Structure 1
Amino acid sequence: MSDKTLEYYNANAEKFVESTLFVDFSQVQCEFLNLLMTESYILDFGCGSGRDMKYFLEHGYRVDAVDGSAKLCRIASEFTGIQVHQMLFQELQEKEMYDGIWACASVLHVPK
């Protein structure tokens, strides 16, 4: 993720959350969860507002979440009650730790 992109999300975090938090993604979320066993361990990679993470938690899944934006990490942590780690894509070191990785609208920020 570029510095410019991070600057944008940090400067516009509240607007971003307002525009995405209550978008109904339940059909796509449900399709994703149908691929996993109940109580699977999910990484929400680029969690933004925390909308999807909260859905997964409410449906009995264990979730770790990361985002590149410090402000979005804080907002998502407050919204979900779990710690969100500030991390860029290239910083992830875990291998075979998660049963599923959710990266909704975040992979487009992976540098070429």
Structure 2
Amino acid sequence: MSDPETLAVYAAKTEEYANITSGPAARDPILAAFIAATPNGGSVLDLGCGPGISAAIMAKAGLDVHAVDAVPEMIALAAQEQGVRAEVKTFDEIAGTNIYDGIWANFSLLHAERDALPRILRSLHMALRTGGGFHIAMKLGDDTKRDTIGRKYTYVTETELRNLLGDAGFTVTNSVTGRDKGLDGTYADWIALAADG
């Protein structure tokens, strides 16, 4: 994510974002399933970790967590979480082969440009160990636009997202859809896909 306006919104609303996401993360069955499917002590990447709430839950469960986000203010909070190695990094800076047992990309890649998604997903697939678990959640739609507080979103259809994952080498194993209220106060439909590397 390199859109300056989106980054500025998250920088300004770091504490508010942490407050509204802490409760749902603690009760998230998708996160619980991701943790359960990851080997004990396994290495995981929390891509676009925000304030580190999910990263902290994963670390508390015994996983080795590398949390990255492009917003320094978010990383400052994530770095305070016990057991979380937090680092300012963009999607494009994820590189390497066979590093992680799991990658958690929860409502983060929706801020990537549509034409960058194939490249980013291929890099993530390379960084994931064979058989490792991948989670991605995106908002549903077919356009690119800003929300009411200025964040830029790339919306996807389920078919588009499944094709993107397949083209990058992932095998989708589960799908969950829902509708929730976001930081901007509006409701949006979303999809979460679990996949193997």
What TM-score results when the alignment is normalised by the length of structure 1? 0.90
Identity %: 29
- Cα deviations across residues 29-51 of structure 1 (Å, max 9, x unaligned)? 12112322111100011111211
Whole-Å separation in 1 of the counterparts to 2:84 and 2:12: 23
1:84 and 2:86 aligned: yes
Q: Unaligned 5+ residue runs, structure 1? A: none
Name which one, 1 or 2, has greater alpha-carbon Rg. Answer: 2
Which sits farther off after the overlay, 2-11 or 26-35?
Answer: 26-35
Give the length in aligned residue pairs: 112
Whole-Å separation in 1 of the counterparts to 2:66 and 2:33: 19
Quote the residue 2:165 is aligned against: none
Whole-Å separation in 1 of the counterparts to 2:83 and 2:42: 19
Bigger proportion of residues as helix: 1
Instruction: From the superposition, tell whether residues 82 and 39 of structure 1 become closer, same or farther in structure 2 (CA, over 3 Å).
Output: closer
Quote the residue 1:19 is aligned against: 20
Instruction: From the superposition, tell whether residues 17 and 90 of structure 1 become closer, same or farther in structure 2 (CA, over 3 Å).
Output: same
Whole-Å separation in 2 of the counterparts to 1:64 and 1:25: 21
Quote the residue 2:107 is aligned against: 105
Deviating beyond 3 angstroms after TM superposition, the runs of 4 or more aligned structure 1 residues are 79-83
Quote the residue 1:58 is aligned against: 60
Secondary structure at 2:107 match in 1: coil
Whole-Å separation in 1 of the counterparts to 2:107 and 2:13: 16
1:81 positional shift: 5.5
What TM-score results when the alignment is normalised by the length of structure 2? 0.53
Bigger proportion of residues as strand: 2
Among 67, 70, 81, the residue aligned to 1:68: 70
Contact 1:66 1:84 in 2 (8 A): yes
1:12 positional shift: 1.1
Whole-Å separation in 2 of the counterparts to 1:50 and 1:6: 16
